[in-house]
Copies of this chain bind each other. A is one copy, B any other.
Amino acid sequence: MGKTRIGILGYGNLGRGVELAIEKNEDLELVGVFTRRDPSSVKPLLPGTAVRPAAELDDGKADDVDVLVICGGSATDLPEQTPRYATWYNVVDSFDTHARIPEHFANVDESSRENGTTALISCGWDPGLFSLNRLFGNAFLPDGADYTFWGRGISQGHSDALRRIEGVADAKQYTIPVEEALEAARSGSNPELTTREKHTRECWVVLEDGADPERVFEEIVNMPNYFDEYDVTVNFIDQEELDRDHAAMPHGGFVLRSGTTSEGTSHVIEYSLKLDSNPEFTGSVLTAYARAVARLAAEGKHGAYTVFDIAPRYLMPCDAAELRAHML
């Protein structure tokens, strides 16, 4: 069997993560990064990567693409792109606006069913692997409690919120799980934990010349939804320090389920990720699921899927007998 041929649409941090991940999988081949920019202006990470105009994808013209991994943003790109490209290609996206998942799923499902393609939405680690572990935890311990902790890692949404404040030139925000809350969840006592008890927020802020740190501080800690319900620390630094010490994109987190199977008999399931690079790991997850999508498509299984619908064996390059012999 030939290699599964992957295309990447959109070449930000996540697209680069997918590019690197394909290199690690011998059964997969990158046929190109598709960009809406001038291809000659895009320098790929790896020397062998072809950069092609996104217009080549229109009307299904890029017939060397088995699966297209769409690496756009959830706010405006993916709601438009995924249903559109699902008319011509098998697709994978990382749509992560939880509240809009049912609507996005319906749109993509309609497009892919009508056109006989296979689509996976909302893939990555949350939504994605953390969702899987929430499902497994609820299935195996139906009488119990769920806990999800994120971090330590940079929250893009909260960093953007800081940068929108007047007088802020640049900023990064780390979400940090509170160790005592993690330990309480691990204890199996099913504690009730408030928002403030679970996470703290750490801000690294570069001020514009003449901005008043006092006012910026007050605006941050009182910002509704983003910061007002949390214990927040704010550190003012210069741009050089921000670029030097806060350019990496580590992330991770914990999904716990604790529950009882009979009076006084409790169990704790814990899943955790410790990631040096959020986009590289997310890209690697999308890449394994792109393999699964190619296989589902080859079996004639069309329409939209989530990670909940995909049997684990589709993620691995070897066949089921080999998996049973060596991994079960």
A261 close to B142 (CB less than 8 A): no
Query: How many chain copies?
Result: 2
Interface status of A98 (Cβ within 8 A of chain B): yes
A327 close to B267 (CB less than 8 A): no
| A134 neighbours in B (Cβ, 8 Å) | 327
Determine how close the nearest CB of chain B comes to the CB of A326; give it in whole angstroms: 9
Interface status of A155 (Cβ within 8 A of chain B): no
Determine how close the nearest CB of chain B comes to the CB of A279; give it in whole angstroms: 9
A315 vs B17: C-alpha distance in the bound complex, in angstroms?
Answer: 32
Interface status of A236 (Cβ within 8 A of chain B): no
Q: Mark A10-53, 1 if CB is under 8 A from B, else 0.
A: 00000001001100110000000000000000000000000000
B136 close to A328 (CB less than 8 A): no
Q: A101-B328, A312-B135 are in contact. Are A261 and B24 (CB under 8 A)?
A: yes
A285 vs B308: C-alpha distance in the bound complex, in angstroms?
Answer: 17
| A275 neighbours in B (Cβ, 8 Å) | 267
A262 vs B262: C-alpha distance in the bound complex, in angstroms?
Answer: 46
B311 close to A310 (CB less than 8 A): yes
| A129 neighbours in B (Cβ, 8 Å) | 136, 140
Interface status of A274 (Cβ within 8 A of chain B): yes
A141 vs B134: C-alpha distance in the bound complex, in angstroms?
Answer: 21
Interface status of A81 (Cβ within 8 A of chain B): no
A132 vs B133: C-alpha distance in the bound complex, in angstroms?
Answer: 11
A194 vs B281: C-alpha distance in the bound complex, in angstroms?
Answer: 28
Contact of A24 among B127, B143, B283, B285 (CB under 8 A): B143
Q: A138-B327, A288-B140 are in contact. Are A281 and B309 (CB under 8 A)?
A: no
Q: Which residues of A contact B (CB under 8 A)?
A: 17, 20-21, 24-25, 98, 101-102, 105, 122, 127, 129, 131-132, 134-136, 138-143, 186, 188, 261-262, 264-277, 280-281, 283-285, 288, 306-313, 315-316, 320-321, 323-325, 327-328
Chosen A-B contacts, 25 in total, with CB atoms closer than 8 Å, are A24-B142, A24-B261, A101-B324, A101-B328, A102-B324, A129-B140, A131-B327, A135-B313, A135-B316, A136-B312, A138-B316, A141-B284, A261-B283, A261-B284, A262-B277, A262-B280, A265-B277, A265-B280, A267-B277, A269-B273, A270-B271, A307-B312, A309-B320, A310-B311, A311-B311
